Structure 1
Amino acid sequence: MTQQGRDQLEAELRHLRSTKRREVALRIKRAAELGDRSENSEYEDAKNEQAFVEGRIQELDLLLRNVQVIDEPGRGRSEVVTIGHTVHLIDTTTKEPMVYTIVGPVEASPSEGRISHLSPVGAALLGRAVGDTIRVAVPAGTLELRVSRIT
């Protein structure tokens, strides 16, 4: 995982512990004041949210205790793609440019341009250099991508 990814998870954990827990506890208290809990959907919803929040806190605690942060790629060589690098690509068929940052699975968000090193495209890019072309099978067919820049 990158340091940025770790920082984001730590921020989420702080928010859940400091803010979200209090908000949910207040919702439970207010819903409980409405009377009979057996038919109180607001109370049930708040209790379900509390269970979700507590589960996410436990998940983040475990993840952050066991995570390995990779070295910043900018400090070393950027001649080949590794986790943490941003890769500029050209689709050789459509000539469309693409930019992806290679991250660990927990940080992946394809809509934000962050793909896992375990994804088909991410795995194919690892170890590649500027000028290399990769062919990757994806649900829509086969992509042929050329590495144009690594940062």
Structure 2
Amino acid sequence: MNAIPITLSGAEKLRAELHEMKTVHRPAVIAAIAEARSHGDLSENAEYDAAKEKQGFIEGRIAELESKLSNAQIINPTQLDADGACVFGATVDLKDLDSDATVTYQIVGDDEADIKESKISISSPIARALIGKYAGDIAEVQAPGGIREYEILDVRYV
């Protein structure tokens, strides 16, 4: 499997979720299964079936998190030396040339993308249009409503 780029903060969030799954959720579902078993007949025991289904979800998520972390290429944006270019981990200030609105995005991995936190996925159309460009350049983004143009105001590695 190829290395999956992820920022330092994204990797920490995945580690925290993995720790919670292993130390909180897994023991809780084991206790729920034991409780449901104590009620007797398992063939018509909805509590048991629900607990087993939840256990399957938790174990699947643990395996997924472990896989992502083992294949992660952790990148610390503060240690990037890209000479002002838009690269993975960079924080970019943009000006929409149609509306004059300014926005700030950080280019992150697919798993940590969250538009509410102004984090966009490296595989998103806007990030793909920004990669390799510098402050002062114009990025053309293919949007559902047509091509949008953004001027890159600043590129920071924070």
TM over 0.5: yes
Normalization by structure 1: what TM-score? 0.89
Q: Does 1:36 find its partner at 2:80?
A: no
Moved segments of 4+, more than 4 Å: none
Aligned-pair identity in percent equals 37
Say whether 1:91 aligns with 2:96: yes
Pairwise CA distance, 1:97 = 1.7
Taking the aligned partners of 1:118 and 1:51, their CA distance within structure 2 comes to 30
Whole-angstrom CA distance in 2 between matches of 1:18 and 1:78: 43
For residues 68 and 105 of structure 2, the distance between their equivalents in structure 1, rounded to whole angstroms, comes to 24
Question: How far is 1:33 from its partner?
Answer: 2.8
1:38 and 1:140 map into 2 onto residues whose CA distance is 54
Residue in 1 that maps onto 2:81: 76
Cα distance, 1:141–1:30 mapped onto 2, change above 3 Å: farther
SS of the counterpart of 1:37?
coil
Q: Cα distance 1:40–1:93, how it changes in 2: closer, same or farther (>3 A)? A: same
Structure number with greater CO (CA < 8 Å, separation at least 6) is 2
Q: Which amino acid aligns with 1:58?
A: A
Mapped contact 1:78–1:150 kept (Cα < 8 A): no
Q: Mean alpha-carbon deviation: is it higher for 78-87 or for 10-19?
A: 78-87
Pair 1:20–1:81, CA change in 2 (3 A): same
The separation in 1 between residues aligned to 2:76 and 2:120, in whole angstroms, is 18
Question: Which range moves more in the overlay, 93-102 or 74-83?
Answer: 74-83
The reply to whether residue 5 of structure 1 matches residue 43 of structure 2 is no
Q: Unmatched 5+ residue regions in structure 2?
A: 1-5
> In 2, distance between residues paired with 1:80 and 1:14?
35
Shift of 1:77: 4.4
The CA RMSD over aligned residues, in Å, is: 1.8
Name the structure 2 match of 1:24.
Answer: 29
Partner-residue secondary structure (3-state), 1:98? strand
Partner of 2:142: 137
| 2:98 alignment partner, SS class | coil
Which sits farther off after the overlay, 27-36 or 124-133? 27-36
AA partner of residue 117 (structure 2): E
**Cα deviation digits, residues 42-90 of structure 1 (max 9, x gap):** 2222111110110111111122112111243455245111111111111
Instruction: Determine the C-alpha separation between the residues in 2 that align with 1:75 and 1:66.
Output: 20
Q: How many correspondences in the alignment? A: 151
